[in-house]
A and B are shown apart, each in its own frame.
Chain A
Amino acid sequence: MLEDSILIEKVKAGNRSAFNELVGLYRNRVINTCYKFLLDKENAEDISQEVFVEVFQSIKSFRGDSKLSTWILRIAVSKCLDEIKKRKRKKRVSSAFKKVHLEDLANWLAGGTTPEKLLSGKEDMKKIIKAMDTLPDNQRIAFTLSKVEGYTNTEIAEIMKTTIIAVESLIYRAKKELIRKLEDILKNV
């Protein structure tokens, strides 16, 4: 496996296999980060591809001030927030979960889960999205990243350009606010 700086130089020089290696290194992490933010598989895959297109287009402007992973994940977070804003504008949040995906149906047919469970899961996700939408961006980012496997508070702090203490405080406040918001939503059901 190539070292980050060598990999960056090769990608900057237009080396295709180096770019493929970069994608292979960060693909799963970017997709899962997008998934936690967007809570929709298709959307997460789509946005994660946009992230790598942007990486490809702007790698030449990457000066190495931060780690490559931090830079890529910053792009991912920013793309996800843009997508969430677009969703809010188009009020697509609920409609995204109205459709039952074919894979879910296949899962049900295979005996994996019942449609009731499937629907209740989707309902819960809708509630989470509704609650998340009320959080300020910095709380949302800190909390969501803390729930993606592999992120340490140090890394979240680097991505958010803040301190570890600030990240811990943001996560704590976000969780508290989410519980309060979810309770409100449940009371109004």
Chain B
Amino acid sequence: MNSQKVEIEALQILDKFEELQELTPSADWDQSLMSRIIQSKQSTRSKIYLSSLSVLVVLVILFNAGFVLKTVINSDSRTVSHMEEYHTLSKELFINQIPNN
């Protein structure tokens, strides 16, 4: 194909694009739009519900963690020696002789 022919054909293709006929929306376009809007409303509602539910869950977890932390801090942590443990165990198991070392 020579270059002049190619140029003319390119211009013709471009003309076709420029002269594209206007589109008339299909008969069910409005109805379809309305159902999409209703769907979007519902999904917005469920998003709000889900986000408030997740906030609630996070709050419960935080409250629970705080409670556990508080209990741990407040509980008296006293160290028990090995001898004391032996004594307690021996008493429970009715053993009279306990090693001295």
Contacts and interface: CB of A to CB of B under 8 A. Distances in A.
A147 B19 CA distance: 8
Given A45-B26, A53-B33, A121 B16 contact: yes
B10 A182 contact: yes
Contacts of A32: 22-23
Given A23-B33, A49-B29, A57 B23 contact: no
B12 to A, nearest CB: 8
Contacts of B18: 147
A32 B25 CA distance: 9
A187 B1 contact: yes
Interface residues of A, number: 32
Interface stretch (B36-44, B58-66, B68-76): B36-44
A183 B36 contact: no
B1 A186 contact: yes
Nearest to A44: B23
23 contacts: A27-B25, A27-B29, A31-B23, A32-B22, A35-B20, A36-B20, A39-B20, A45-B29, A48-B25, A49-B32, A52-B37, A53-B36, A57-B40, A121-B16, A124-B16, A124-B17, A149-B22, A179-B11, A179-B14, A182-B13, A183-B6, A186-B6, A186-B10
Interface of A: 23, 27-28, 31-32, 35-36, 39, 41, 44-45, 48-50, 52-53, 56-57, 121, 124-125, 127-128, 147, 149, 175, 178-179, 182-183, 186-187
Given A45-B29, A52-B37, 14 more contacts: A28-B22, A31-B29, A32-B22, A32-B23, A39-B20, A57-B44, A125-B16, A127-B13, A128-B17, A147-B20, A178-B14, A182-B9, A183-B7, A186-B9
